[in-house]
Structure 1
Amino acid sequence: MQYTHNFNPTISDEDIFSEIVREKEDIGYYNLPFQDTAPLKEYAKSVKQSNIVVIGIGGSTLGTYAIYKYLKHSRKLDKKLIFLETTDPIDIQSKIQSIDLQDTLFIVISKSGTTVETVSIFKYINSLVVCDKTNTVIVTENDSKLNRYAQINGMQVFEIPKNVGGRFSVFSAVGLLPLAIVGIDIDELLKGAKKLHDAFFIKKDDVQERLLKKARFLVEYKNSFNINVVFSYSSRLEGFNKWYIQLWGESLGKIDINNTRQGLTPIGIIGPIDQHSFLQLIIEGRRDKTVTVIKVENFDNDLKIPAITLEGLEELDYLNDLEFSSLIKSQADATIEAIQNLNDIPCDVITIDGVCESAIASLMYEYELLTSLCGKFMYINTYDQPGVESGKIILKKKLQS
């Protein structure tokens, strides 16, 4: 992974790093790259169904979708992965109608085991097909009500560790189980995450330096640059953008130890599509945004613009024989140069190696680390979500009244 930036805050980060090392003893996501994947792979081999339906919401689906979206067109996968994650009735029906329910495995994921959206959808599925140990697997905490339901019905259960929050759970069974079942190499995923872990905690190389520097900058200048734009130059990263928005917003929008409201606003956009919309706001709008451009070095695709001349458009023949992958990389470089030439928009660039498991996992683990670092600099609890919980309480009262 290559990296460049145009900001350079210089303050010692030893204390923050020590805090993260201490936190690592209690917060479980840090150590997920070192888990034993054998039980997950063994179960995955036993699955005969062609359709894999994940029933969950938020942290139970977004990370898995991010990886699946990034890799699915570069892998020969013999199973289809579908996500039921909204109570929108049109979305539910349209997805259900597109698959054979008799040839479907349902993976029900809820850390608490009582997520309203998840249980509601699962109830609907139960009205359409018999859900039993042959076609349903549960992913939840070991003492949840959903776990009890699974035990009563003899269903296979995979545990979400209590010290792993939902939005940090993609490298647990939450993400690894469905991905392994459809044929994605979960060992390579963990290898990519472990590479970032070791670079930050053990080697203490440029990865540690740049993440500490970036986190400190984002927090120290949050009143000037409160909006953090991730500009991903690949449509395959659409899922990553959605995952980043949840990770950033739900983790960092908090009240700190001084009872002061904190937060950084995440925005995820896709290049080159948003060069024709949001880039205008970046270039000539208010200077309240940082920009992170994410490039893909190797698309593993040689699709070319054909060498043909269109009458009236001869002046664009310089595009002939150009690979689309080269075009999108040039578009990213042009955007980066346009931003950096202004000298008043904080901009950094992440170039990931290619379309493979280790590349997307490294990127996601890096953003988990960055989120934790920002939380430490802000003096907040990165891992709770009281604002979300208050809405759940209100919803429950409304539905029960």
Structure 2
Amino acid sequence: MKYTKNFYQIKSNLEIFERLKAERETIGYYNLPYQDTTEIKKYAQSITKKYVVVLGIGGSSLGARAIYEFLLPSNNYSKDLLFLETVDPLKINHCLKKVDLKDAQFVVISKSGNTIETISLFKYLNSLVEIDKSNCTIISEAQSSLTQFANDNNIKVFDLAKNVGGRFSVFSVVGLVPLAMVGVDIDNLLNGCKRVVDSFFKQEEYYKPIIRKARFLVENKSRFNINVLFSYSSLLESFNKWYVQLWAESLGKVNVNGTRQALTPIGLVGPVDQHSFLQMIMDGVRDKTVTFIKIDDLKDGTIIPKDSSKKFDNLSWGCAEDFTFNELLNMQADATIQSIQEQDDIPCDVISIRTVDEYNIAKIMFSYQLLVSCIGAFLQINTYDQPGVEYGKINLAEKFTQTS
């Protein structure tokens, strides 16, 4: 008897764990938490410009932006960090109105060195102000044309390791250099990462939640193929965008036997999206999992004031007076979580971030990177390439060839 098959069997948790342990030898992001940051910090301290302007797109900007915008409201940074990540001219010029270009440090980031959006922005900004070694930092792979440009023009360049993919690069020089320039404690970021990676690979606190969630999502991917991240704080809006790229570009692949995989990420922010997408979750098709993220302490004690003048007596929600907005936000989150849980047929989980600091945002971001790696291993795909993205680049190059 001859037997053949065209389906794959879901591996055991132990097999997946061993695969991730093996990946640590070749996939660079796993070991970023242990890097020496001395050179980055020394260089960052030498930057005296008021504005730090990052030219990058996708993995070159989303992670650093997520961290910066999470930390910004509760910190008094002496510099402003801005991200130019579009070729929409209206957006570009609107953003530049906020910047004194003569008092700006330009951080040009492209892993490949030939990202069209980044190179085009670089050329445009150079037409507005001379960009040279006095106001420019470049981050790219060692052998890229952008690194060669930096060397030819005596511009400081930080090498991005070839085995660190863009969407997994937030804790590499891609994220650490611009964040350090504005005063973010990058060592505390890496401490948060180390807490997670050490725990996971020692099969301690972080191991079971990550690998069990990955397994559930893969085993139920046909039924629940939409994964909703419902973040209860506007501080996490850019984190949601980072999550969407990490998830979609890593997991939308063809697996070992040619089957197309589809776990679709959606990022929501509460309470705003309680008034829109929550309706779809509650009464729509049961094809979604929901992960809630709450922040216990926003480091802000602003209170909903008590009305002593009787002016608002006829308005509702007098019971909310004397509560902090932080308390209100988390009560709204808890009420929504309870509503979902009461449905009994919507898989959901809850992540609580203790407070707003580098350590805690790093823990959740590194946890998500590990989760994506686990899911990719279960799916038996290449988690770290993005062949689908390359088609658009090829077609764009052809269009320029046709019009030149």
Q: TM-score range by the shorter chain?
A: over 0.9
Q: Deviations over 1:176-213 (max 9, x none)?
A: 000000011000000001100011012x1231011111
Q: How does 1:190-269 map to 2 (within 5 A)?
A: 190-202=190-202, 204-269=203-268
Look up the match of 1:380: 381
Aligned partners of 2:60 and 2:174 also within 8 Å: yes
Q: Is there any run of 5+ residues in structure 1 with no aligned partner, and where?
A: 1-9
CA, structure 1 residues 313+12, in 2 after alignment: closer, same or farther (shift >3 Å)? Answer: farther
Look up the match of 1:178: 178
Rounded to whole Å, the distance in 1 between the matches of 2:394 and 2:345 is 43
Aligned partners of 2:16 and 2:378 also within 8 Å: yes
Rounded to whole Å, the distance in 2 between the matches of 1:19 and 1:177 is 31
Which amino acid in the other structure matches residue 350 of structure 1?
A: I
Rounded to whole Å, the distance in 1 between the matches of 2:271 and 2:53 is 31
Pair 1:294-2:293 in alignment: yes
TM-score, length of structure 1 as denominator length: 0.96
CA shift at 1:96, angstroms?
1.4
Specify the SS of the correspondent of 2:295.
Answer: strand
TM-score, length of structure 2 as denominator length: 0.95
Aligned partners of 2:11 and 2:378 also within 8 Å: no
CA, structure 1 residues 250+11, in 2 after alignment: closer, same or farther (shift >3 Å)? Answer: closer
Rounded to whole Å, the distance in 1 between the matches of 2:315 and 2:168 is 51
Look up the match of 1:326: 327
Look up the match of 2:57: 57
Specify the SS of the correspondent of 1:301.
Answer: coil
Rounded to whole Å, the distance in 1 between the matches of 2:296 and 2:33 is 24
CA shift at 1:314, angstroms?
4.8
Specify the SS of the correspondent of 1:94.
Answer: helix
CA shift at 1:319, angstroms?
1.1
Look up the match of 1:158: 158
Rounded to whole Å, the distance in 1 between the matches of 2:103 and 2:375 is 45
Which amino acid in the other structure matches residue 49 of structure 1?
A: K
Rounded to whole Å, the distance in 2 between the matches of 1:188 and 1:391 is 38
Name the count of aligned residue pairs: 391
Look up the match of 2:136: 136
Look up the match of 1:84: 84
CA shift at 1:12, angstroms?
4.7
Rounded to whole Å, the distance in 2 between the matches of 1:120 and 1:263 is 33
CA shift at 1:146, angstroms?
0.2
CA, structure 1 residues 354+311, in 2 after alignment: closer, same or farther (shift >3 Å)? Answer: closer
Q: How does 1:36-115 map to 2 (within 5 A)?
A: 36-115=36-115
Specify the SS of the correspondent of 1:206.
Answer: coil
Q: How does 1:303-314 map to 2 (within 5 A)?
A: 303-308=302-307, 309-311=310-312, 313-314=314-315
Look up the match of 1:366: 367
Rounded to whole Å, the distance in 2 between the matches of 1:356 and 1:218 is 29
Rounded to whole Å, the distance in 1 between the matches of 2:391 and 2:399 is 13
Q: Is there any run of 5+ residues in structure 2 with no aligned partner, and where?
A: 1-9
CA shift at 1:68, angstroms?
0.4
CA shift at 1:93, angstroms?
0.8
Specify the SS of the correspondent of 1:292.
Answer: strand
Look up the match of 2:395: 394
Specify the SS of the correspondent of 2:317.
Answer: helix
Look up the match of 1:339: 340
Rounded to whole Å, the distance in 2 between the matches of 1:329 and 1:97 is 36
Q: Deviations over 1:104-127 (max 9, x none)?
A: 000000000000000000010111
- Name the % identity: 54
Rounded to whole Å, the distance in 1 between the matches of 2:401 and 2:15 is 48
